[in-house]
Amino acid sequence: MTEHAYAGRTAIAGIGATEFSKFSGRSELQLAVEACLAACDDAGIEPSEVRGLSTFTMETNPENDVMRSLGIEELTHFSRIHFGGGAPCGTVQYAAMAVNEGVADYVLCYRAFNERSGRRFGAGVQDRAAGATAEEAQFSWTSPYGLLTPASWIAMFATRIMHEHGVTSEDFGRVAVADRRHAATNPAAFFYGKPITLDDHQESRWVVEPLHLLDCCQESDGGQAILVTTLERARDLRQPPAVVTAAAQGMGADQQMMRSFFRDSLTGLPEMAVCARQLWETSGLGPDDIRTAVVYDHFTPFVLPQLEEFGFCGRGEAKDFIRDGNFELDGRLPVNTHGGQLGEAYIHGMNGIAEAVRQVRGAAVNQVDGAEHVLVTGGTGVPTSALVVSRDR
Partner 1 sequence: MTESIDTSLTDRLRAFVGLSAAANSARDPVNEPMIRHWCDVIEEGNPVYTDPSVAARSVFGGIVAPPAMMDVWDKPGVRMTRNPDNPQGAVITLLDGAGFTSTVAVNSELEIGRYLRPGDVVHSTLALEDVSDEKQTGLGVGHFVTSRLTYLVGDAPVGSVLFRVLKFAPGTGRAPAAGEAAMTRDPSPAKRPRPAINRDNQYFWDGARVHELRIQRCAGCGELSFPPTPRCWSCGSFEMGYVVASGKGTLYSFAVPHYPQVDGFDYPVLVALVELEEGTRLVSNVVGARREDLRVGMPLELCWLDSHPALVDGAGDSRGPIALPQFRPARQPRRESTLEVADLADGHALPLCPIPITATLVVGGALMTRDYFDSHHDRDMAVRRGSKDIFMNIHTTLGLTERYVADWAGPEAIWRSLRVRLGAPNYPYDTMTMSGSVASVDRARGVVTVAFRGANSLGDHVSGTAQLVLPGGSSYPDRPNPSGEERR
Q: Which residues contact partner 1 (rule: CB under 8 A)?
A: 122-126, 129-134, 136-149, 151-152, 155-160, 163, 205-210, 256, 259, 261-262, 266
Cis previous bond, 270, omega within 30: no
Distance, CA of 382 to CA of 319 (rounded, Å): 22
Three-state SS for 109? strand
Known catalytic residue at 6: no
**Nearer to partner 1 among residue 58 and residue 123 (C-beta):** 123
Q: Which amino acid is at 189?
A: A
- Shortest distance in whole angstroms from residue 285 CB to partner 1: 34
Smallest gap from Cβ 51 to partner 1, in A, equals 40
Contact, 167 vs 303, CB < 8 A? no
Query: Among this protein's residues, is 346 annotated catalytic?
Result: yes
Cβ distance to partner 1 smaller for residue 156 or 350: 156
> Which among 365, 366, 377 has a CA at the least distance from the CA of 329?
366
Cβ proximity to partner 1, 96 vs 207, nearer residue: 207
Three-class DSSP category at 205: coil
Catalytic residue from among 6, 106, 110, 296: 296
Q: For partner 1, which is the closer residue by CB, 208 or 353?
A: 208
Interior CA angle at 284 toward 286 and 110, to 5°? 80
CB closer to partner 1 out of 54 and 380 = 380
Residues 121, 102: Cα–Cα separation, whole Å: 37
In three-state secondary structure terms, 313 is coil
CB 334 to partner 1: min, Å:
31
Sign for the CA dihedral angle at 132, 137, 142, 146 comes to negative
The least CB distance from residue 129 to partner 1, in Å, is 7
CB of 300 to partner 1, least distance (A): 15
What is the layout of strands, in order, in the sheet containing 77-81? Answer: 77-81, 52-56, 107-114, 221-230, 10-17, 242-250, 384-391, 373-377, 292-294
**Catalytically active residues, by annotation:** 296, 346
